[in-house]
A = this chain, B = another copy of it.
Amino acid sequence: MRIMRSIGTEPPRTARGVATRARIVAAAAGLMRSSGVANTSLDAVLEASEASKSQLYHYFADKDDLVLAVVQRQAECVLATHNAHLQRVTSIAGLRRWRNAVVELTRKEKCAGGCPLGSFVSELAESDGSRAALARGFAQWQADIVTALEAICGTTPRPRATLVELATTLLAALQGGLLLAQTTRSVQPLELALDLAIDRIAERLARPSRRASGHVGARRGHR
């Protein structure tokens, strides 16, 4: 169902229009993050953003369309926040400072909410449009981490593939750590997971580049 979307989402043509659209997306983002997408009614969004139905449907084709905008906004927010730290990272110590900032932020939020992007995954991963948006967000995030790792390498660059892998594991550790932190209401899993990933990064970037740390085979071997 819902075959022809495409048109219907006119972008605002006025400063005021831009403002309302932004207000709506911001309010929706907040509510959806804390209550889940399906549990957030459009009426609630409208009340929180002090807008009206017609305004919402003036800028968005339907709820799915709004959700897409929310995901994109969340991605931008997360990337902006983390980049503020990551861009200044030039050493392992800097990476650990970033770790501490993440942990501290999570603790401040009392481990509620989880990752602003990650918490959307389970609810949206089966609908193609928003899943792609989430994937783009994570890809960009990963790219930002790679940049930080390159800065850490400094004068002795490493194969890009290695850095990409390390960035992936760091991102996975962050997501898994946040997920467990959210359910156990403790930052400890997050701390452990991030430390593990960062320790590995430190090992790999310290000594001359080698693929694996040397153990039994059967890696990457399946089927």
Inside 8 A of A37's CB, which chain B residues have their CB?
A: 38
* A interface majority secondary structure: helix
Name A170-223 residues within 8 Å CB distance of B. 171-177, 179-180, 182-185, 188-193, 195-197, 199-200, 202-203, 212-213, 215-216, 218-220, 222-223
Shortest Cβ distance from A47 into chain B, in angstroms?
A: 18
A122 at the interface (CB under 8 A from B): yes
A169 at the interface (CB under 8 A from B): yes
- A135 touches which of B169, B183, B190, B216 (Cβ 8 Å): B183
Q: Is A192's CB under 8 angstroms from B176's CB? A: no
- Complex Cα gap A134–B122 (Å): 15
Q: Is A168's CB under 8 angstroms from B182's CB? A: no
Complex interface: stretch among A48-56, A82-90, A113-121, A152-160: A113-121
- Complex Cα gap A135–B196 (Å): 22
Inside 8 A of A122's CB, which chain B residues have their CB?
A: 36, 114, 118-123, 179, 182
- A138 touches which of B120, B121, B175, B180 (Cβ 8 Å): B180
- A114 touches which of B34, B121, B134, B220 (Cβ 8 Å): B121
A35 at the interface (CB under 8 A from B): yes
Inside 8 A of A190's CB, which chain B residues have their CB?
A: 172
Inside 8 A of A180's CB, which chain B residues have their CB?
A: 138, 168, 171-172, 175
Tell me whether A192 and B165 are in contact in the complex, defined as CB-CB below 8 angstroms, given that A120-B122, A122-B114, A131-B183 are known contacts: yes
Report A's interface with B, CB cutoff 8 A. Answer: 34-39, 92-93, 96, 100, 103-104, 107, 112-114, 118-123, 125-126, 131, 134-135, 138-139, 165, 168-169, 171-177, 179-180, 182-185, 188-193, 195-197, 199-200, 202-203, 212-213, 215-216, 218-220, 222-223
